[in-house]
């Protein structure tokens, strides 16, 4: 759960506050919100912006609305832990978030988050792929953020 950015961010994460979590993808970015005090995350939205400028404009609007104390980006790796083809891009995205918004940015293991999200949505009654696809990335972001919150809670116990 160490942050990609300055190590001081881990020590300064407050007991209360909102977090935004991101499931970065080349075509879409899933976004979730979570609360440090309750330790609960919820799917928020999926950004479909094509250009980087449009993506960061949408993210800036979410940051202005939710006023998070920190951001969490899912870091993809292969099942055995080796780097995935998107790992470096997700680190770059995390660095860009930190540079643009000046907030602490943490990374969280996102192995199987999309698989878990799809299975959960299907079990919840979203039978068609089209119906699941519309919310899949936001649900994956929720799982990433929930994993981060759960790990943080276990480390502080």
Residue (of 3, 72, 1) closest to 32 by Cα position: 72
| Predicted pLDDT of residue 146 | 92
Backbone phi and psi for residue 149, each to the nearest 5 degrees, phi listed first: -65, -40
On whether the CB atoms of residues 133 and 40 are closer than 8 A, the answer is: no
| Predicted pLDDT of residue 98 | 97
| Predicted pLDDT of residue 70 | 96
| Percentage of residues of the chain with pLDDT beyond 90 | 51
pTM of the model: 0.81
Q: Which CATH number fits domain 16-156: 3.40.190.10, 3.40.50.300, 3.30.420.140, 3.40.50.2000?
A: 3.30.420.140
Backbone phi and psi for residue 71, each to the nearest 5 degrees, phi listed first: -125, 150
By residue count, the chain amounts to 157
Q: How high is the mean pLDDT of the chain? A: 81
Pairing of strands 40-47, 29-35: antiparallel
| Predicted pLDDT of residue 124 | 57
| Predicted pLDDT of residue 9 | 44
| Percentage of residues of the chain with pLDDT beyond 70 | 72
Half-sphere CA count of 25, side-chain side, radius 13 A:
18
**Distance from C-alpha of 68 to C-alpha of 148, rounded to nearest angstrom:** 15
| Predicted pLDDT of residue 122 | 57
Low-confidence residues of the chain: pLDDT under 50 = 1-11, 128-129, 131-132
pLDDT in tens, 107-149: 988 765 555 555 555 555 555 445 445 567 898 899 999 989 9
Residue (of 74, 81, 141) closest to 109 by Cα position: 74
Lateral strand order in the sheet of 29-35: 40-47, 29-35, 18-24, 70-75, 105-109
| Predicted pLDDT of residue 119 | 57
Backbone phi and psi for residue 156, each to the nearest 5 degrees, phi listed first: -90, -5
């Amino acid at each position: 759960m160490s942050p990609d950015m300055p190590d001081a961010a881990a020590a300064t994460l407050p007991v209360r506050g909102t977090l935004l979590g991101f499931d970065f993808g080349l075509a879409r970015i899933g976004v979730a919100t979570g609360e440090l005090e309750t330790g609960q995350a919820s799917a928020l939205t999926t950004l479909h912006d094509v250009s980087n400028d449009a993506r960061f404009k949408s993210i800036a609007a979410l940051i202005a609305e939710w006023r998070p104390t920190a951001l969490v980006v899912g870091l993809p790796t292969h099942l055995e832990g080796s780097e995935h083809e998107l790992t470096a891009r997700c680190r770059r995205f995390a660095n860009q978030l930190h540079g643009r918004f000046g907030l602490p940015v943490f990374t969280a293991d996102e192995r199987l988050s999309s698989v878990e999200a799809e299975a959960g949505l299907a079990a919840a009654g979203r039978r068609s792929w089209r119906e699941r696809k519309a919310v899949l990335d936001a649900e994956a972001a929720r799982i990433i953020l929930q994993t981060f919150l759960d790990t943080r809670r276990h480390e502080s116990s």
